[in-house]
Structure 1
Amino acid sequence: MPEPVDIDALIRAVQANPRYAAIDPGLIRGLIERYQSSIHQPRELIKAVRNKLHQVGGAYLEKPIDYANWGERLAILPRDLHHPQVKEFCRQMMALHASTRERLPILDRFYAETLTSLQPIHSILDLACGLNPLALPWMPVNPATQIYVCDIYSDQINFLQQFFNHFGIHGQATLCDLTRSLPQQSVQVAFLLKSIPCLEQLDKTIATRLLHGIPAKYWLISFPAHSLGGRGKGMRQHYRQHFEELIRGWAVQLRSFEFPGELVFLLSPA
């Protein structure tokens, strides 16, 4: 009979690697509970959990971000979100995460083209946000816009709240594991940018649950057009078909946008 599993000790062991130290312990616990019936050796269990966390988020970071250092730099920035120095700071930070780094060459176009038709925008929910909230200077928002963001990294979430506070943004950054609970803020538009493939590594049904379970009037959803390694053959077609299957039978209007490296959909009420 297998020995009882000390889940708290295993969580600490997973987080002993700096790449996973700031990940939501609840997510780690859920993965341990999922794997423990088939993987009985603690070392192998820790390895399996770390591998899954790498697929979900770790692969997008070359190394852990030094948020303390970036927080010090943030603290001395002008408080004008559109100041050139602030925008350069945001660009430098977004370059640290693969998802936002890929969007930098099209940043001036991306939100202008996808969100302009929704103005005025009064509220945004950015799910599995990464460093995307640092793109706020390029979004067609106003000082009254409510911004809600969530992700699995506690240090990132703390930094984003500091970012909101510094610029007087009506923003709330929250640690969340979307496989366990969904935000319930009623918002004008929800973002799910290049996140569905990652989230489906944890739960194959999660996209449907998000789309039906979160009270958003509009959805801005995107998929990567190539892998992190640069391979892109067939990916646009694959994800377009996948997304059309997800919303089949749903009474919505669908508008699509093609950007280098990214396939984007805007869902609106029918």
Structure 2
Amino acid sequence: MVSEWQNSTSSERLRQLVETVRMSRKYRSLYAGTIAYLGARELVLHSNLEEAVKATKRRLHQIAGMYLTGAAPYARWLAELRQARASGDEEQLRAVCRRVMSWHASTRERLDLLTTFYQPLLADLPPIRRVLDLACGFHPLALPWMPFFRAGETACYYYACDIYEDLASFLQAVLEVLGVPGEVTVCDIVQAPPDLTVDLAFVLKVLPCLEHIEPEAGLRLLRAIRARYLLVSFPGQSLGGGKRGMAAHHEARFRTLVADCGWRLERFSFPGELVFRIQKE
């Protein structure tokens, strides 16, 4: 992973910045290309390496770090998932998935919606054979609630990507436990969105994070995604629980963003989350 950006720059300071950031427990598994991408910008703004490192960490916290609850016990979770899967008890499997999803702020906010979230969004779509889950976080753990999921019988191929290497490895094992064919990769969707054609793409609570990197990154990503349908969502409140018109702000900004794209939009409102279903074709 590191060689991808090392080959594109001879900056010793950038190399030092990436290595320093990855010494932190919080970011040691984060894709080095993302750290380098953000760090290179901060080095332009800060002549002092220590200040550039601090600024890079602040950016990383905004786009990723603030959503995690400490070090994740991936090995223990996998053991629990395998045991639940072997039991044949679907409710036990779902219970373990819920516990895992509570570790990530984005999916934790959706736990009370799981039984009602996917049905209106997916039930009336044509058969879904290929799914792309961008900046997925812990969202693949919600597969047991999706209409196209049947443990061990899923015809859908599930692609997912995130910037945490250890999370990607864990999720690849999760797909295997759930009996879902698929692939989880480490990917920076700002620099290089997955080169795939799918039926459905999840872009859940992603665009506000991208704005911390580049103002136009969100629209560029949506245009690059080759999917017939996209589910794009926004949080209805801050992580601290404050609303302050957040959903209305996101909706107005999003509608302006895609106004000239010629896509069909459908709006779905849930407690704490606003979702737009885009039909590109």
| TM-score category (smaller protein) | over 0.9
Aligned to 1:229: 240
* Separation in 1, partners of 2:88, 2:174: 10
Of 52, 65, 69, 2:59 maps to: 52
User: Structure 1 pair 260/77, CA: closer, same or farther in 2 (3 Å)?
Assistant: same
Within the alignment, does 1:217 sit opposite 2:228 as a pair?
A: yes
Shift in Å at residue 14 of structure 1? 0.5
Of 39, 48, 57, 1:41 maps to: 48
TM-score (normalised: structure 2): 0.91
Alignment map for 1:109-128 (pairs within 5 Å): 109-128=116-135
Of 69, 88, 105, 1:98 maps to: 105
Within the alignment, does 1:62 sit opposite 2:73 as a pair?
A: no
RMSD over aligned CA atoms reads 1.6
CA contact (8 A) 2:14 2:39 kept: yes
SS of residue matched to 2:26: helix
User: Structure 1 pair 247/79, CA: closer, same or farther in 2 (3 Å)?
Assistant: farther
> How many residues align structurally?
267
CA contact (8 A) 1:119 1:140 kept: no
Q: Which runs of 5+ in 2 are unaligned?
A: 1-10
CA contact (8 A) 1:65 1:96 kept: yes
Shift in Å at residue 150 of structure 1? 0.5
CA contact (8 A) 2:134 2:202 kept: yes
SS of residue matched to 2:234: strand
Shift in Å at residue 82 of structure 1? 7.0
Within the alignment, does 1:258 sit opposite 2:275 as a pair?
A: no
SS of residue matched to 2:241: coil
TM-score (normalised: structure 1): 0.94
> Letter of the aligned partner of 1:154 in structure 2?
E
Shift in Å at residue 80 of structure 1? 7.8
Alignment map for 1:198-209 (pairs within 5 Å): 198-209=209-220
Moved more, 198-207 or 71-80: 71-80
Shift in Å at residue 7 of structure 1? 2.5
Aligned to 2:3: none
> Letter of the aligned partner of 2:225 in structure 1?
I
* Separation in 2, partners of 1:188, 1:81: 30
> Letter of the aligned partner of 1:9 in structure 2?
Q
SS of residue matched to 2:72: coil
Of 79, 82, 86, 1:75 maps to: 82
Alignment map for 1:186-197 (pairs within 5 Å): 186-197=197-208
Moved more, 80-89 or 174-183: 80-89
SS of residue matched to 2:99: helix
> Letter of the aligned partner of 1:194 in structure 2?
K
> Letter of the aligned partner of 1:54 in structure 2?
H
User: Structure 1 pair 187/41, CA: closer, same or farther in 2 (3 Å)?
Assistant: same
User: Structure 1 pair 82/122, CA: closer, same or farther in 2 (3 Å)?
Assistant: farther
* Separation in 2, partners of 1:231, 1:22: 31
Q: Which runs of 5+ in 1 are unaligned?
A: none
CA contact (8 A) 1:189 1:219 kept: yes
CA contact (8 A) 1:81 1:87 kept: no
Alignment map for 1:25-36 (pairs within 5 Å): 25-36=32-43
* Separation in 1, partners of 2:148, 2:270: 21
Shift in Å at residue 129 of structure 1? 0.5
Moved more, 205-214 or 221-230: 205-214
1:147-180 deviations in Å (ceiling 9; x for gaps): 1100111111000000111222111101001121
CA contact (8 A) 2:207 2:218 kept: yes
1:33-65 deviations in Å (ceiling 9; x for gaps): 111122122211111111100000111112121
1:101-137 deviations in Å (ceiling 9; x for gaps): 0000111000111111114211110101010010000
CA contact (8 A) 1:150 1:174 kept: yes
